[in-house]
Structure 1
């Protein structure tokens, strides 16, 4: 079941409602895609669910599917428009997970070697028995 909306309107809710200007890329019944005002590289697009849910965990399976269907369309359009060397698709949840706007969204970022964008985290390499123990804790339904 979908989770609650953020208690206050977010900047994304205001963009989607037309209360603030944006450079819209795509819109359908459930999703809204627009240029990120803080471009990592030219063509950096944000794809948001129109319903103001905070995180991926607050979406129904159908909403998640709709969001990522639009991410796929936008990534293909970015590829056609900018011919990048790569594309980073990034979705974050809650401040500890690097989320800065409490409205579900996905970054579609055209990438180039040496563009200065980095995603760094410590890499741990536990033994296989530990990986299997961790996997056994996760129940996907």
Structure 2
């Protein structure tokens, strides 16, 4: 376990409580998936657990086991909805690794041959700019 503590006021906790907006892609009893506001690829989606966990070191194994099918389902929908050739799934633990929001999350980045993933820290995108990607990904859940 990490020595750092979970901050219940992090932005993802606020999104889970409905105190901050997101462009939601999917929600089930264990997770919430939404589009990243600083996307590194078109359709870049985040999957977060509904339990409070700072990162992979803090989540109970049983909660992680319940979360991973959601990560898989979201990755399949992102790949299908974005007509991607593949996906990169990233997960960072603590600041030294690049973690910026200290609530466990998985990045689902759709990939296409010859299209580079953009560097982290890109410009913020509005919900309006992200909506077309949501409109492509959400129907892919129903098609499964």
* TM exceeding 0.5: yes
Task: Tell me the equivalent position of 1:108.
Answer: 108
Task: Tell me the equivalent position of 2:57.
Answer: 57
Distance 2:10 2:49 in 1: 12
Q: Within 5 A, what are the aligned runs for 1:29-44?
A: 29-44=29-44
TM-score (norm 2): 0.74
Residue 113 of structure 1 and its aligned partner are, at CA, apart by 2.6
DSSP-derived class of the 1:58 partner = coil
Give 5+ residue unaligned stretches, structure 1: 120-141
Computed over aligned residues only, the root mean square deviation of the Cα atoms, in angstroms, reads 2.1
Task: Tell me if structure 2 keeps the 8 A contact 1:5–1:53.
Answer: no
TM-score (norm 1): 0.75
Q: Within 5 A, what are the aligned runs for 1:1-141?
A: 6-117=6-117
Distance 2:26 2:34 in 1: 7
Q: After superposition, what is the alpha-carbon deviation per residue over 1:69-127, rounded to whole angstroms, capped at 9, x for unaligned?
A: 111000110121111122000011001111111000000010123333279xxxxxxxx
Larger radius of gyration: 1
Distance 2:7 2:86 in 1: 37
* Alignment coverage as a number of residue pairs: 118
Task: Tell me if structure 1 keeps the 8 A contact 2:7–2:102.
Answer: no
Give 5+ residue unaligned stretches, structure 2: 120-144
